[in-house]
């Protein structure tokens, strides 16, 4: 199960005229805790920042699924209501899921969502698709865990010396 955290990074960015301007960008990171999210986002963005930056905010994102795509350049949040029948009461039940989809336009996001959900067995309704301010996402990978373990072991060896 993914635990997505929305992380805001504040730094000084040079505009077209070479003048510095403070900006805040939003990223999504898969982590187990707030402290791990802060550590992971700091490691991920550090190579791309020239100068100082700070993590100005972290919150749980409430994202259930992510559907990336090679074509898109913007993340869209899709509210999807899956409809099921409660067999005990014979009543319709809606289960809401927030899904991030990559696309260049809302129409493309809609198409990518429909493609991703084409094999689902449940009926569903999409009451909302909105563009997000998310610049990039950083899912968890086994390589991240291996590099963290190597960093920890190296640190422990240095401490012993």
pLDDT of 1-29, one tens digit each? 579 999 999 999 888 888 888 999 999 99
Residue 10 CA to residue 42 CA, distance in Å, equals 11
Contacts 24+ apart (CB under 8 A), 50-57: 51/11, 51/12, 52/11, 52/12, 53/9, 53/10, 53/11, 54/9, 54/10, 54/11, 55/7, 55/8, 55/9, 55/10, 56/8, 56/9, 56/10, 56/24, 57/6, 57/7, 57/8
Buried b (16+ CB within 10 A) or exposed e, 47-66: eeeeeebebeebeebebebb
Nearest Cα to 66, choosing from 94, 24, 97?
Answer: 97
Domain boundaries, the chain: 63-133
Does 121 or 24 have the greater pLDDT score?
24
Average pLDDT across the chain, whole number: 87
Mean pLDDT value of segment 22-38: 95
Mean pLDDT value of segment 59-75: 92
| % pLDDT > 90, the chain | 65
Mean pLDDT value of segment 66-70: 89
Mean pLDDT value of segment 87-112: 92
pLDDT for position 158: 47
């Amino acid at each position: 199960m993914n635990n997505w955290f929305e992380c805001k990074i504040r730094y000084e960015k040079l505009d077209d005229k070479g003048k510095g301007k403070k900006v805040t960008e939003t990223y999504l990171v898969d982590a187990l805790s707030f402290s791990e999210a802060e550590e992971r986002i700091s490691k991920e963005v550090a190579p791309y920042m020239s100068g100082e930056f700070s993590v100005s905010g972290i919150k749980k994102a409430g994202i259930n699924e992510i559907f990336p795509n090679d074509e898109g350049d913007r993340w869209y949040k899709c509210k999807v209501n899956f409809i099921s029948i409660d067999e005990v009461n014979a009543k319709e039940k809606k289960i809401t899921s927030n899904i991030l989809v990559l696309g260049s336009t809302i129409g493309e996001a809609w198409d990518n969502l429909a493609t991703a959900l084409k094999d689902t067995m449940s009926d569903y309704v999409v009451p909302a698709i909105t563009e997000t301010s998310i610049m990039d996402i950083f899912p968890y990978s086994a390589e991240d865990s291996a590099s963290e373990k190597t960093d920890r072991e190296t640190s422990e060896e240095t401490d012993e010396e």
